[in-house]
Structure 1
Amino acid sequence: MLNELLSDHGALALALALGGMLAAGFAKGVVGFALPMIAISTIGSVLPAPLAVAAIIGPAVITNIWQTFRQGLGAAWESLRRFWLLNLVMFGAIGVTAQLVTVLSEAALFAILGIGVCGFALIQLLGLRMPRPSPRRLKIVEACVAMVAGFFGGLSGVWGPPILMYFMALELPKVEMVRAQGVSFLLGSMILVAAHLRSGLLLGEGGQLSALMVLPAMAGMALGLMVQDRLDQARFRKATLIVLVIAGANLLRRALTV
């Protein structure tokens, strides 16, 4: 597995990809999100876009299982029951749009990745917030958020930011929000596995790279959880978002030069 990846892409590119996944896992351990955005930005800078998408799927499943069940099965079930519509619509949208990854050109994929990462990071960096939806329109807004998340999730593996913005608009308590994110992220990553087994992205080299990325993701998340209370989370989150804007701009540059 390793020899094949080394011969196809080189030791430097693979080392940078592994380092990017370690950093992505660390950020997830500290702030509870951002693994897909950091991983897709760093890995997409050194490897082809379809491989970058494949690389984050295995780590996303494993780290999201960890995040989802930290408070136990009962708490996870309650989050799933409360946000059933959000997860159902997102689940379907990811399954449909994921099939386009192997059809779109690499330039188009890099453009979608760059716009998604850069746009979502800028929105959060600028402190823009979704207004709290009225109870009468709650389910409509929830379904729309899920469709946007599923569209970007299927194509890039990044579906967290719209969901995070929605949960923030609902003013969920921090522990509940992190758990609800974990449930949505886990379900999204599971359908992404199924969708890309069908598309062929996780067969062969893509599946090998995805499996290889699990260890650095877990190591990074474990380290992030260890230092979570020692870091200024607000400053760390801001620094992470600034890096993501730069990384997203680099993906857009690659879209123009492929």
Structure 2
Amino acid sequence: MEDTLNLMPLWAFFAALAVTFLAGFVKGAVGFALPLIMISGLSLFLEPQLAIAGILLPVVLSNFLQAGRFGLAQIRAVVIEYWRYILIVCVMILFVSQFVTVIPAQVFYLILGVPVVILSLIQLFGVRFHVPPARRRIAEWGIGAFAGGLGGLTGTWGPPTVLYLIALETPKAKQMLVQGVVYGLGSVSLLIGHLQSGVLNTVTAPFSAALLIPAFLGMQVGFWLSDRLDAEVFRKITLIVLVVAGANLVRRGLMG
């Protein structure tokens, strides 16, 4: 852990703990945005590759906590129904994650910031798409490839997945289950991909492991408050914060 702390000032480590707790809280309360909040927040004061390494274990933990709230029979049914989407997301994450180490920092900020702003604005303004049943198979492969590619580069494939489920007119209760399964299996692919890429290594892994604690605690608070919050208002506030954070990442990508 001493080698890990040498990568950053002590204040940055404690700031990372706070960002992760907030991300866990939002994840527990509304079911999404942990990797978006973490990568956007950590990238403000950490190098991009270190920020990506930091999110890896909390992303796995949070998604399996979310999926674990449902029964095995429900999870199995989701895998059977959405296997094409899950497969292409996982394959693209594994493939694209190998290119993270060769992307310049400013390009990374743009790759992360632009989709965060656009996809958050789409959700914030309630823009809806519709995928007719006859086009579902094509949409699964196409949107899944985009989501997985984005996930491999930035560690988040949630917004395209949410928009896809909305386009299929998936009931809200089922959306939470499908998201948990897609995010859970995708997070395993991301972890494997970055073990291979070298982003997660003996120096960065302890940092990611340390962030498991605030992620878990934040999710527990979020779960506890989820029934007491106005979920729609809270979701909109979260999206506004993500737009601002994404815009700042775009600024850094353009101006350095």
Alignment of 1:109-128 (within 5 A): 109-128=108-127
Q: Is the 8 A contact 2:24 2:34 kept in 1?
A: yes
| Cα distance in 2 between the residues matched to 1:7 and 1:137 | 51
Partner of 1:171: 169
Q: Does 1:43 align with 2:58?
A: no
TM-score using structure 2 length: 0.97
Displacement of 1:91: 1.0
Post-superposition CA distance 1:134-162 (Å, at most 9, x none): 22111001111101101110000110111
Q: Distance in 1 between matches of 2:145 and 2:167?
A: 17
Q: Could you say which residue in structure 1 is the equivalent of 2:94?
A: 95
Q: Distance in 1 between matches of 2:203 and 2:168?
A: 41
Provide, for residues 211-247 of structure 1, a one-character-per-residue CA deviation record: whole Å limited to 9, x for no partner.
Answer: 1111111110100000111111111111111100111
Query: Which residue of the partner structure matches residue 178 of structure 2?
Result: 180
Distance 1:205 1:115 in 2: 30
The partner residue of 2:215 within 214, 217, 224 is: 217
Q: 2: distance between equivalents of 1:54 and 1:6?
A: 14
Q: Deviations over 1:43-101 (max 9, x none)?
A: 11110011111111101111111111212111111111110000011111111110010
Tell me the distance in 1 between the aligned counterparts of 2:225 and 2:209.
Answer: 26
Query: Does the 8 Å CA contact 2:4/2:204 hold for their aligned counterparts?
Result: no
* Alignment TM-score, normalising by the size of structure 1: 0.96
Aligned with residue 152 of structure 2, among 137, 151, 154:
154
2:17 aligned partner: 18
Query: 1:129 Cα deviation (Å)?
Result: 1.4
Per-residue deviation at 1:257? 4.2
1:16, 1:118 → 2: CA distance?
A: 23
Report what 1:227 is aligned to.
225
Query: Where does the alignment leave 5 or more consecutive residues of structure 1 unmatched?
Result: none
Distance in 2 between residues matched to 1:87 and 1:254, nearest whole Å: 33
SS where residue 53 of structure 1 aligns?
helix
Structure 1 Cα separation of the partners of residues 7 and 187 of structure 2: 27
Cα RMSD over matched residues? 1.2
- Counterpart for residue 72 of structure 2: 73
Inter-partner Cα distance in structure 2 for 1:52 and 1:244: 16
- Tell me if structure 1 keeps the 8 A contact 2:161–2:179: yes
How many residues align structurally?
256
Q: Deviations over 1:191-212 (max 9, x none)?
A: 1111110100001332222111
Identity of aligned residues (%): 42
1:15-55: per-residue Cα shift (whole Å, max 9, x none)? Answer: 11111111000001110001011111101111001111111
